[in-house]
Amino acid sequence: MLQFLIRRLIGAVVIMFLIGAFTFFLFYTVPQDFAALSCGKNCSPENLAVIRENLGLDKPITTQFWEFMSGIVSGRDFPQGHCSAPCLGVSFDSGNFVWDSIVDRFPLTLSLTVGGLVIFLTLGLGSGLLAAWKRGTVVDKLVSGASIVLSSFQIYLLGPIVLGILVYSSGIMENPKYHPFTENPGTWALGLLIPWVVMATIFTAQYTRMSRSTMIEQLQEEHVRTARAKGMSQRYVFFRYAWRGSLIPIVTILGIDLSALLAGAVVTEFTFDLPGLGRLAVDSSLTKDLPLTMGIMLFGAFFILILNIIVDLAYAYIDPRVRLS
Amino acid sequence: MTTLTKTEGEKAPTGPDSFLSVRDLRVRFSTEDGIVKAVDGLSFDVERGKTLGIVGESGSGKSVTNLTVLGLHNPKSSTVEGEILLEGQDLVTASEKEMEKLRGNKVAMIFQDPLTALSPYYTVGRQIAEPYMKHTGASKKEARARAIEMLTKVGIPQPKTRVDDYPHQFSGGMRQRAMIAMALVCDPDLLIADEPTTALDVTVQAQILDLLKDLQQEFGSAIIFITHDLGVISDMADDLLVMYSGRAVERGSVREVLREPKHPYTWGLLSSMPRLGGDTDQALNPIPGSPPSLLNPPSGCPFHPRCAFTDQVSGDRCSTERPALGEGRAAACHLTAEQKQTIFFDTIQPRLR
């Protein structure tokens, strides 16, 4: 198992390097003079040269690449000062270190993800299991019907409706706002409650349907019938035998969803006007702030890789056949 | 032939030792296309320490019957009528709680494919220990010791280490042994083996059959052995029930039925079986046609559309009147006893050499 982990971690580092290289060269092949973009209206050739030098764009592209990559590992020095590792460069637009901008925005994104996750996992899996247990009954039909309706909703539709009801017309709640968890967990949760619930609604529906269908599939497995033939109770068979098999597809989808959310929940952030990573990413690409875009991409790729490894470990834990092959 | 009365089903004698007694069992599934009569008026008895073989094509109701005995049919989509008496207790009307106490304890089942029938997620030892803990209240440690004991009994080498293996680490034959260990862990009085050797190669098959016979001698269990392999049945069973279209069409001791079968369907089964040392130029004689739809079973005798001897029965009785299965050694067929004898010895037997 340890060997597997080490192998995967080395693989992850290599993939990170490749992603870094790929995005770097992809962006720099764009026929666009980034210095001209930052130069503004009254741009003289002298100004342009200064900017170019400041941004490091006057150096050969291989040197730029080397500086970028080594900066991630060991930090870099800029005219603004030392950028410590992991240094993702300096934003063209704001002149801030990219890493600092990401770190500044990440807590909100993390909070959105964690809160939403707790809600949609609990509700989604819970209602899915309930529907599978009560298959064919009114309960099942209600849950299945509701999940289909809810999954066809969109955050940008549901969000304003909920805001309209709870905030603007009745004033029961305040506009969603991020308060750091470390300051006051209560206000933190209250401030993000509406985005959590709205975001989780969409995901819940998806997890309800998935857990219901995989459970029903698993309950028809022959080994589940064998367990019943041994005299094990319906409940035991449901939670020990069928549930275990259902975990694999659930964990797979969860890994994908989580890594997407951690890289920024763009729609949710825009709907509720929350400054998270997703908005930062969109803004950076609109202003053609290349280092910032690349930094966020790499940051997101990091989560995808880490979650991939965690999902693989989970597979091995769930299914012994994966463990040994 | 005189018992052809309003109950379409047939009565079999209830022996004094009859341990399991199934009477006029009817299992129906409601599907979108209509009602499927999977089992339609079936009666049989199993005595303690004896083996009843049930043969028949796929879809003849063998497996459904035995799942019903365990109460493992889907209660929502199926209805069960008739009686299943296990030592006088009716299993058809028994509650789910009572059935749970019986399953794996008094009545156990061995399934056909041990790869899919064992859970891939738990160790073999745990799967054997589970029913033991549930039914005897044994501790984890005792149950583990019992699992090792059972693995030893069914001939798994190094049971002390193999007990912690997962099913996929076992070979096919070993998995079936583990399955048998699991079924026998609570010393069941009745063991239902649903094609336990079909998925195995012949040498392993022979070992498993020997094992089952040894274990039966040791525990004195009654066995219901379901198969479509007549060779296996002649080796294993004392009594034989031939099923067709959800009904029993022939019954008797294995010797009687295989020596002198009385039903055209049984003749067909025997003729379609390849034989070792048989003449290679002699063609096999499969039964023409395919098993009847259980949604719309043929009128009269369900076998009549495939039967080659309907012309020897006067009138159209074969297609209008369902032949009853008499008591004891019997076949459900309109042919007279003399006709059956003549046809078998003149036409069928020469083919079987």
Does residue A234 sit at the B interface (CB-CB below 8 Å)?
yes
E strand or H helix that includes residue B96:
helix B96-102
Nearest to B104 among A229, A240, A318 (CB): A229
Regarding whether A235 and A109 lie in a shared domain, the answer is yes
Residue contact A320–B108, C-beta within 8 A: no
- Chain B hits for A324, CB-CB cut-off 8 Å, are 169
- Chain B hits for A233, CB-CB cut-off 8 Å, are 100
Q: Tell me, what DSSP letter sits at residue A57? A: T
Nearest to B166 among A227, A229, A320 (CB): A320
CA–CA separation, B348 vs B353, rounded Å? Answer: 10
Regarding whether A146 and A275 lie in a shared domain, the answer is yes
CA–CA separation, B236 vs B210, rounded Å? Answer: 9
What residue of B is the nearest CA neighbor of A317? B121
Regarding whether B98 and B227 lie in a shared domain, the answer is yes
Regarding whether A151 and A66 lie in a shared domain, the answer is no
Residue B72 burial (CB count, 10 A): 17
Nearest-Cα distance to chain A for B42, in Å, is 22
CA–CA separation, A125 vs A209, rounded Å? Answer: 9
Regarding whether A58 and A196 lie in a shared domain, the answer is no
Does residue B104 sit at the A interface (CB-CB below 8 Å)?
yes
Helix A243-262 to helix A290-318 angle, to the nearest 10 degrees? 170
Number of structural domains found in chain B = 2
E strand or H helix that includes residue A83:
strand A81-83
Residues whose CB is less than 8 angstroms from the CB of residue B347 and which lie 6 or more positions away in sequence, other chains included: none
Does residue A33 sit at the B interface (CB-CB below 8 Å)?
no
pTM (two decimals): 0.83
- Chain B hits for A230, CB-CB cut-off 8 Å, are 103-104, 108, 127, 130-131, 134, 182
CA–CA separation, B17 vs B325, rounded Å? Answer: 22
- Chain B hits for A227, CB-CB cut-off 8 Å, are 119, 127, 130
Residue contact A230–B131, C-beta within 8 A: yes
Nearest-Cα distance to chain B for A207, in Å, is 23
Regarding whether B293 and B227 lie in a shared domain, the answer is no
Regarding whether A119 and A89 lie in a shared domain, the answer is no
Does residue B233 sit at the A interface (CB-CB below 8 Å)?
no
B78 in a structural domain: no
Nearest to A231 among B101, B116, B121 (CB): B101
B75 in a structural domain: no
Regarding whether B210 and B265 lie in a shared domain, the answer is no
- Domain span at residue A140 reads 105-324
Residue contact B101–A319, C-beta within 8 A: no
CA–CA separation, B133 vs A233, rounded Å? Answer: 13
* B 197-216 near A (Cβ less than 8 A): none
Copy the structure tokens of residue B217: 């001698």
* Domain end marker among A98, A128, A154: A98
Regarding whether B228 and B310 lie in a shared domain, the answer is no
CATH of the domain at A129: 1.10.3720.10
CA–CA separation, B50 vs B69, rounded Å? Answer: 17
pLDDT score for A287 = 84
Does residue B64 sit at the A interface (CB-CB below 8 Å)?
no
Q: Are A260 and A301 in contact (CB under 8 A)?
A: no
How big is chain A, counted in residues? 325
Copy the structure tokens of residue B108: 């156990």
Regarding whether B224 and B297 lie in a shared domain, the answer is no
B98 in a structural domain: yes
CA–CA separation, B38 vs B56, rounded Å? Answer: 13
Q: Report residues of chain A scoring pLDDT below 70.
A: 30-32, 38, 40-41, 324-325
pLDDT score for B11 = 44
Regarding whether B206 and B175 lie in a shared domain, the answer is yes
CA–CA separation, A120 vs A103, rounded Å? Answer: 26
Regarding whether B222 and B106 lie in a shared domain, the answer is yes
Regarding whether B306 and B186 lie in a shared domain, the answer is no
* Burial class for A115, CB neighbours closer than 10 Å (0-12, 13-18, 19+): buried
B280 in a structural domain: no
Does residue A223 sit at the B interface (CB-CB below 8 Å)?
yes
Does residue B168 sit at the A interface (CB-CB below 8 Å)?
yes
pLDDT score for B91 = 92
- For residue B83, list its beta bridge partners: B23
Nearest-Cα distance to chain A for B175, in Å, is 13
- Chain B hits for A231, CB-CB cut-off 8 Å, are 100-105, 131, 134-135
CA–CA separation, A27 vs B246, rounded Å? Answer: 71
pLDDT score for A324 = 59
What residue of B is the nearest CA neighbor of A229? B103
CATH of the domain at B160: 3.40.50.300
B54 in a structural domain: yes
| Residue recorded with tokens 């805001």 | A163
B5 in a structural domain: no
* A 133-162 near B (Cβ less than 8 A): 136
Nearest to B182 among A230, A234, A319 (CB): A230
* Domain end marker among A98, A131, A149: A98
* A 175-194 near B (Cβ less than 8 A): none
* Domain end marker among B248, B265, B295: B248
What residue of B is the nearest CA neighbor of A246? B121
Residues whose CB is less than 8 angstroms from the CB of residue A177 and which lie 6 or more positions away in sequence, other chains included: A191, A274
Q: Are B317 and B334 in contact (CB under 8 A)?
A: yes
Regarding whether B259 and B242 lie in a shared domain, the answer is no
Nearest-Cα distance to chain B for A213, in Å, is 18
DSSP string computed for A185-251: HHHHHHHHHHHHHHHHHHHHHHHHHHHHHHHHHHHTSHHHHHHHHTT--HHHIIIIIIHHHHHHHHH
Half-sphere exposure at residue B218, Cβ-oriented, CA atoms within 13 angstroms: 12
Does residue B37 sit at the A interface (CB-CB below 8 Å)?
no
* Domain end marker among A83, A98, A113: A98
Could you list the pLDDT tens digit for every one of the 353 residues in chain B?
444 443 444 444 444 557 899 999 999 988 888 888 899 889 999 998 899 999 988 888 888 998 999 998 877 788 999 999 998 899 999 999 999 999 999 999 999 888 899 999 999 999 999 999 999 999 999 999 999 999 998 889 999 999 999 999 999 889 999 999 999 999 899 999 998 888 778 888 888 898 889 889 888 889 999 988 888 888 889 999 999 998 999 999 999 998 889 899 998 888 887 777 766 777 777 888 888 888 888 888 889 888 888 888 877 888 888 888 888 888 888 888 888 888 888 888 887 76
How large is the C-alpha radius of gyration of chain A?
24
Copy the structure tokens of residue A212: 């219901």
- Chain A hits for B102, CB-CB cut-off 8 Å, are 231
Regarding whether B222 and B313 lie in a shared domain, the answer is no
- Domain span at residue B301 reads 255-273+286-351
For the stretch A189-243, pLDDT in tens is 999 999 999 999 989 999 999 999 999 999 999 999 999 999 999 999 999 999 9
- Chain A hits for B130, CB-CB cut-off 8 Å, are 227, 230, 232
Regarding whether A191 and A320 lie in a shared domain, the answer is yes
Q: Are B25 and B80 in contact (CB under 8 A)?
A: yes
Regarding whether B225 and B266 lie in a shared domain, the answer is no
* B 111-130 near A (Cβ less than 8 A): 111, 113, 116-122, 127, 130
Cis before A160? omega within 30 = no
DSSP string computed for B159-203: HHHHTTS-GGGS-HHHHHHHHHHHHHTT--SEEEEESTTTTS-HH
CA–CA separation, B147 vs B160, rounded Å? Answer: 9
Q: How many CB pairs under 8 A join A and B?
A: 75
B69 in a structural domain: no
Regarding whether A119 and A90 lie in a shared domain, the answer is no
Residue contact A230–B108, C-beta within 8 A: yes
H helical segments located in chain A: 2-28, 34-39, 45-55, 61-74, 98-133, 138-151, 155-163, 185-219, 222-229, 234-236, 243-262, 266-271, 277-286, 290-318, 320-324
Regarding whether B228 and B120 lie in a shared domain, the answer is yes
CA–CA separation, B325 vs B10, rounded Å? Answer: 6
| Residue recorded with tokens 């460069």 | A89
B193 in a structural domain: yes
Regarding whether A192 and A137 lie in a shared domain, the answer is yes
Number of structural domains found in chain A = 2
Nearest-Cα distance to chain A for B135, in Å, is 8
